[in-house]
Each structure stands twice: as C-alpha cells, then as structure tokens.
Amino acid sequence: MNSQWKVKYVPKTDSSHSTLKDLLLSGEGRAGAVLVAREQNAGHGRLNRQWFSPLGNLALSLSLAPPQGFESKSYQYNLVTALALQELLQKDYQQTVQIKWPNDIYLSGKKLSGILSENLKGPEGALIIIGIGLNLNTTTSDFPEDLRERLTTLRDATGHEHDLEIFVKRLLTQLESLIKLYHQRGFAPIKSGIEENLLWRGEKIFVQEKDQEEIHGICEGLDEDGFLLLRDDSGCQKRILAGDVLCYS
Ligand code: BTN
C-alpha cells in the first residue's frame, strides 16, 4: 500500500468520487491520491442515490493499490473504513457511534456518515477507490427538510465546529493503520471490531433489496467475509450480501 497520501483540496466539484475515478481511469491519478471537496454539487452514494454535501461537510475520496488477493474486495474496504471512522470518532471526538452494515456510521440513531467503495481497473493495474461523506460542520437546518429527521452532524453533537484539515489528517492516519492490519492479518480483526460496534446487533431487523423479498430476523453479526448474518423465526441462518437494513422500532 502507498503510505504517502497526496492530498488535494478543491473548493467545489460535482463528486469527489467521480472526479477521482476519471483521473484514475485516465492514468492521471495514482494510488495514494486523496481528493477533498469542500462542497459537492452531485455527490452520490450506494445505488447511485443522491448524497447531499453542502459547504462545511467532509467529502473525501481516496485511492489505493490493493495487494494480490484484495483486488475485488471493495466491500471489505468499506467496512475497514467504517471501523477507522468509528475508532477516530471515539478516540479524538469522544463520540460513541455505531456501524450500520454495510456502509454507514450512526450517532444517536441518526446517520452521520456514509461510505462508498469501488474496485477499479486503472491503466497500471487494480485500484480501490473509497469515498467518505461525513456531516462535519453543518447543522441539520443546512439540509433539505425531508432529510433532517434522519441525519445528524458532528457539530450538532459536540456543540462546536471542527477543523476539516485536522480531521482529514487524523482520518488518513487511522485508516492507513487499519488498512495495514487488514492487509497483514486479513478480515478477522476488522470483523470483530465491526461486531463490537454494529448497530442493532441482537435486535430484530429486516433487509430490503430492490426487486427482492424482505428478509426478517435477529441480527447476529458478520460472517468471515463481512456479509450480514440474520437468524429467522424458524431458526435458519441467512447470509445477506447486499441491501438496506432497517429496524422495527
Ligand atoms: C452512502 O451513504 O450511500 C455513501 C455516501 C458516500 C458519499 C461520499 S462523499 C465523497 C464521495 N463522493 C461522492 O460522490 N460520494 C462519496
């Protein structure tokens, strides 16, 4: 892995993910490139859903060269990133957050951050691109009314603003050390970290996936690859590969 992040800040872009992806695919961008947009016009998340990213939020995309055997594991890099955020928020911002499988960070039952990872084939080989959106220095009133109930911001939670560049520096340090651990020891240590902080673990949840039947059951944790395990009413364990997780309450 490239240990020297090359961080670039831009005032505004459509989407740091799309901009960095274009640079990587054209050969202009390299592993280790980090693009931070202070504002995005057209941020997007999983399933191409709109990601609202006003001035004051963190919108960051980074690239890395996966070692052999990790080229197609963007879904695990997603979870590595979620754990890095959870550890950073606990250690440096005293916030106890939960990881909502597969790609969100929740604080007091509301969404604080979302992660989007993708496998790419660049001109010089495989790359992983990871995008992180986090509601940093905004307040809920900066968001469209229909979103306000479902999200929170670090500023609202702590009562004050946080320096973006310091946050980015800490995040990259935390992420780099967890990615190193993941490359050296595989997914097992990440799985246990995620399970300790998994939203709705032990509770009855259901999973919705486009054009598929809802799956209901008790959330038991993750399997060794990072997929979600549910125990249904008949005692049968179900392995969830993708979908939106929801809780009854
Ligand atoms: C999700 O909740 O589905 C993931 C949201 C990911 C948003 C980030 S913000 C930085 C990067 N640029 C994007 O357009 N998306 C990701």
- Tens digits of residue pLDDT in 94-123: 999 999 999 999 999 999 999 999 999 999
CB atoms within 10 A of CB 242: 14
Burial class (CB in 10 A: 0-12, 13-18, 19+), 219: buried
Q: Is 65 strand, coil or helix?
A: coil
Assess whether the C-beta atom of 133 lies below 6 angstroms from ligand 1.
yes
Which residue is associated with the tokens 């990213």? Answer: 53
Q: What whole-number distance in Å separates Cα of residue 133 and Cα of residue 120? A: 20
Is the model more confident about 212 or about 50? 50
What is the model's pLDDT at position 2?
46
Q: From the CA of 43, how far away is ligand 1's center (Å)?
A: 6
The edge-to-edge listing of strands for the beta sheet with 6-10 is 6-10, 33-37, 58-64, 125-134, 110-122, 104-107, 98-100
C-beta separation of 209 from 201 below 8 A: no
Q: At what angle do helices 188-196 and 164-185 cross, to 10 degrees?
A: 130
70: which 2 tokens? 């990790």
What is the model's pLDDT at position 188?
97
What is the model's pLDDT at position 3?
57
Q: Is 10 strand, coil or helix?
A: strand
For 7, 189, 201, the CA distances from 53, given in Å and listed in that order, are 19, 32, 29
Assess whether the C-beta atom of 17 lies below 6 angstroms from ligand 1.
yes
If one residue of 8, 10, 17, 136 were mutated to test the ligand 1 pocket, choosing by the most ligand atoms within 8 A of its CB, it would be: 17
Residues 211-217 have a mean pLDDT of 87
Which residue is associated with the tokens 């990881």? Answer: 99
Q: Average model confidence (pLDDT) for the chain?
A: 95
63: which 2 tokens? 């690239």
C-beta separation of 118 from 72 below 8 A: no
Assess whether the C-beta atom of 45 lies below 6 angstroms from ligand 1.
yes
- Tens digits of residue pLDDT in 154-188: 999 999 999 999 999 999 999 999 999 999 999 99
Assess whether the C-beta atom of 46 lies below 6 angstroms from ligand 1.
yes
